[in-house]
Amino acid sequence: MISVSETILSRRVEAGAGADRILKRAGAAWFLVAALGQGAFAAYIVAFYWRAAVLGDVQRWNEVLGGHGVTPGQPASNLFLGLHLLLAGIVTVGGPLQLVPWVRARFIGFHRWNGRAYVVTAIGASLAAFYLVAKRGTIAGSIMSVAISLDGVLILACAAMAWRQALARRIDSHRRWAMRTFMVASGVWFYRVGLMAWFLVNRGPAGHTDSFDGPFDVFWAYGCYLLPLAVLELHQWVRDRGGAAAKLGMAGLIGAAALATGLGVFGAVVGMWLPRL
């Protein structure tokens, strides 16, 4: 005969398993939207920057970058800009591919090589960008120069940790650091997508100025990588230690993030990337 306490226990186990499933699905839904959005960003980088370079028309870059683009008499800056844009395209494709469980399970050799390429290109893109920021700042001004440089430091630190843990065969820790690397290396993408989602929700550039020093500009310069990183940490904590209610709450938060990300991707594709092609 089954006792009352056994019945309660088995119901709790069932509720826990159901919440785990819902949380996993919410995470997968967000990742699908993000992977499509990063694919669109990568396609823009290739179709605009890489294409112009192949056609020998790098001056076209300045239609977007203005005075921060190709500049006569600054060969080193121009070289590092070219390197940054080359590596940026590779990072944006490599990151999402690295996180697909299906690819990881079936093509472990590819996963290892893509992982190495991802870490090297993310580090290379950041190092090239440090030079650009030090030499001539960023289009979005001094607040962005400090914020994006901190993002660059976090990319270097997280990528180094992910690599170290993989070499030491600490796979669980490696995965955590790889996810952190993905979040901070996607900061530039989150910035564009978040900005467009915010503009769409507010039906205009609320809290934004042309010199990028409005309240939203300051918040999002740091928030574009610190907020996703905080949500990731919370997700991992709730997944490993949370009860069923916490997991359902987290699934709701990630579901809302998936909707906001989808809206931002739509805004960035239609309002930012397509018109530049």
Residues that bind ligand HEM (CB under 6 A): 45, 64-65, 68, 84, 88, 91-92, 122, 125-126, 129-130, 132-133, 138-140, 148-149, 151-152, 155, 185, 188
Least separation in angstroms between residue 239's CB and ligand HEM is 26
In 3D, which of 90, 113, 83 has the Cα closest to residue 42?
A: 90
Between 84 and 235, CB nearer to ligand HEM: 84
- Measured from the CB atom, is 73 or 109 closer to ligand HEM? 73
Nearer of residues 132 and 251 to ligand HEM, judged by Cβ: 132
- To ligand HEM, the closest distance from the beta carbon of 217 in angstroms equals 13
Instruction: Find the shortest distance in angstroms from Cβ 186 to ligand HEM.
Output: 7
Select 150 or 253, whichever has its Cβ closest to ligand HEM. Answer: 150
How many H-runs (helices) and E-runs (strands) does the chain carry? 11, 0
The CB-of-274 to ligand HEM minimum distance in angstroms stands at 13
What single letter denotes the amino acid at residue 184?
Answer: V
**Cβ 133 to ligand HEM shortest distance, Å:** 5
Instruction: Specify the residue, 15 or 120, whose C-beta has the smaller distance to ligand HEM.
Output: 120
